[in-house]
Structure 1
C-alpha cells in the first residue's frame, strides 16, 4: 500500500497548499491512503467544520487533530457526525469523537489510524499514551484485521516520540510524530519493520516561527511581553510529511521517504 502522511496544516496557506496539490499527488504518486494532521488549520488553533470539509474533499482520507482538537467549538458536535476525523485517544474521558478507526482502502484493504498525545512538556497531564495505543494495537493486529496501521504521536519531546516508535515496532506500519511544526531528518524503518519519523513538520509557510508571523513571537522572546495575537504566516507553503510503502501481507514498511514539496524547503519526493 502507498500511504502519505502530511504534518500539521497551518492556517490558510497550509490549507491552500493541500487543496491545490493533493488531488494531483494522489494520481501522480498512486496513493492508496492519505492522513493529514489538521489541528492548526483554522487560524493556527483548531479546525472548523468547513475547513475540515475542504481538506477531505481534496482527497484526505483521515484528519487527525491534537491538543487543539476542540479550540473551534463547532468541532465538538461535528466530529460526532464525521468519522474521518480523529481526536487523540487519551484526551478527556468524556470528549466527543474517537481516537482510532479502521478505514477502508482500495482493493478491500483496511487501514487503522490512531492518535495519542504525549505527556512530556505538554500543558496538560494527559493519560498514558503508551497504554492507550497498546490497547488499540492488540485489538487490530497488523497483517490481520488491518493491512496497514498508522500511528500519529502528537508530542513535544523527541524522546517520547522515539519511545512510541520502538513500542509499536512490528505492530504498526508507520509511527510519525506531529505537534512541533519542525520536520526531522530521521526517516527510517525500525528493526521489526515499522517506518518511523520523529516529526512530520508542518504544511505551512516556513518563513515564520513555527508557522506564525515572526514579529510577535520574537518580541515575546526578547521582552517577555506580548503585544498582539499570534497570526499565521501567509507566504508560500511547503507540504511536509512522509511517504510509506507497505507489504499488504505483513503490513510492514518496505520504503519510507520524507516529503518536502514547494515553499522554502529543499524538495524531497518518493521514488
Structure 2
C-alpha cells in the first residue's frame, strides 16, 4: 500500500484511436498494481479515431482505470464534444482558452489514499493556436489551487521544446510535475528540476507503434510529397503505451522521482 507521505501518480501519453485504447485496457491494471498508483491521468485528445474525443470513448477510458483526461489543440475535433465537456469535470480542455469556452482547464480530485490532487491542462503558443499566455494564466491558477492542495500536476500540451523548458523552469518548485504532451514521441529527459518539480518534455504516445505519430504511413508520406490534403487513418497494428510514474512527497508537494514507461503490446 502507498505510504501516507507519498503519492504515486501515473500519467499516460496521448492515446490515439482504438489501438491506444486497447493497450490501455490490457496494460493499465498491471501498471496500477506495480506502481501502487493512486491516480491515473491520461491525455485523450486523439482517442476517438485519432482526432478528438467523444463521450462514449471517454466513458470507455474511465472504465479502464483512468481518473482524469486532459486534451489539447484537438479537443474540439468532434462536434459532440461541446455539450458533454461542459458537464464532465473529469475531462479538461486547455486552461488558457478565452472566457466563455465550455469546460474547465483544471480540477481537483481525491486519490485512493484521500489526498487532494489538482490537475491543470494548458496549451502552448509556439506553432499552435494563439491563446492567452500559458505562463501567466497557469501561475494565476496555481495560486488559486494552492488554497486546497500543494499536489499539482500540469499537462503542458505544446510543440516547441524551448517553450516547454521555459514553462517548466518558470514554475519549478511551485508544482509537483509538468508533463509535456503533443509531439507523440517520448523524450529521454525526465528529471527532477532544481526546486523539486518533476519534468519530461514529452511523455510520448499510446497508440499504433508502426505509424507516423499514430497515423498510417502511406497517407502521411504522400502529403509530404505532394503537399495536398489527405485523410489520415489510424492503422490497426501492434501498439505501444508511453507513460511516466511520478512519486510525490505529500507534505511539500515536491517530486521525489519520475520514471519513464514504454510498453509494447504485440
TM-score by length of 2: 0.94
State yes or no: 1:114 paired with 2:117. Answer: no
Aligned to 1:161: 164
- Secondary structure of the equivalent of 2:86? helix
Deviating beyond 6 angstroms after TM superposition, the runs of 4 or more aligned structure 1 residues are none
Equivalent in the alignment of 1:50: 56
Deviates more, 1:255-264 or 1:34-43: 255-264
Candidates 235, 238, 241, aligned match of 1:236: 238
> In the alignment, is residue 194 of structure 1 matched against residue 200 of structure 2?
no
The equivalent of 1:3 in structure 2 is 9
1:179 equivalent in alignment to 2:182: yes
Which stretches in structure 2 are left out of the alignment for 5+ residues?
Answer: 1-6
Shift of 1:83: 1.1
Deviation of residue 232 (structure 1)? 1.0
Q: Counterparts of 1:27-176 in structure 2 under 5 Å?
A: 27-122=33-128, 124-141=129-146, 145-176=148-179
State the Cα distance separating 1:263 from its structure 2 match: 4.1
How far has the Cα of 1:184 moved from its partner?
Answer: 0.6
Deviation, structure 1 residue 92: 3.5
Tell me which residue corresponds to 2:3: none
**Normalised TM-score (structure 1):** 0.92
State the number of aligned residues: 260
Distance 1:11 1:93 in 2: 30
Cα deviation code 1:220-267 (max 9, x no counterpart)? 1122224x4100122111110211101110111101111101248xxx
Q: Give SS of 1:204's match.
A: strand
Stretches of structure 1 that go unaligned for 5 or more consecutive residues are 265-271
Contact 2:23 2:265 in 1 (8 A): no
TM-align CA RMSD: 1.3
Please say if 1:12 is aligned against 2:46.
Answer: no
Deviation, 1:155, is 0.6
Alpha-carbon distance in 2 for matches of 1:172, 1:263: 33
Do the aligned partners of 2:211 and 2:235 also contact (CA within 8 Å) in 1?
yes
